[in-house]
Structure 1
Amino acid sequence: MTKECMECGREIYGRADKRFCGDACRSAYNNKLTGGTDKLVRSVNRKLRKNREILSRLNPEGKTTLHREQLLKGGFDMEYVTNTYTTKDGRTYRFCYEQGYLELDKGFVLLVRRDPRD
Structure 2
Amino acid sequence: MKLTRKCVYCESELIGRIDKKFCDPQCKSAYQYKKSKEEPERFYNKVDNQLKLNRKILKKYNKGGKVTVRENLLIEEGFNPNFFTHYWKNKKGDIYLFAYEYGFLKIKEKNIDKFVLITWQEFMLTDKIKHY
Same fold (TM over 0.5): yes
Instruction: Give the structure with higher Rg (CA).
Output: 2
Normalising by the residue count of structure 2, what TM-score does the alignment of the two structures yield? 0.55
Stretches of structure 2 lacking an aligned partner (at least 5 in a row): 126-132
Superposed, 1:37-76 pairs within 5 Å as 37-38=40-41, 41=45, 45=49, 47-72=50-75, 74-76=76-78
Superposed, 1:1-118 pairs within 5 Å as 4-12=6-14, 19-34=21-36, 35-38=38-41, 41=45, 45=49, 47-72=50-75, 74-87=76-89, 91-106=94-109, 107-114=113-120
Normalising by the residue count of structure 1, what TM-score does the alignment of the two structures yield? 0.59
1:102 partner letter? L
SS of residue matched to 2:33: helix
The Cα RMSD (Å) is 3.8
- What percent of counterpart residues are identical? 31
How far apart, CA to CA, are the structure 1 residues paired with 2:29 and 2:46?
17
How far apart, CA to CA, are the structure 1 residues paired with 2:15 and 2:62?
55
Deviation of 1:76 (Å): 4.0
Deviation of 1:83 (Å): 1.8
Deviation of 1:18 (Å): 5.8
Bigger helix fraction: 1
How far apart, CA to CA, are the structure 2 residues paired with 1:43 and 1:87?
23
How far apart, CA to CA, are the structure 2 residues paired with 1:113 and 1:31?
38
* Residues 47-56 or 6-15, more deviating: 6-15
Aligned residues: 114
Stretches of structure 1 lacking an aligned partner (at least 5 in a row): none
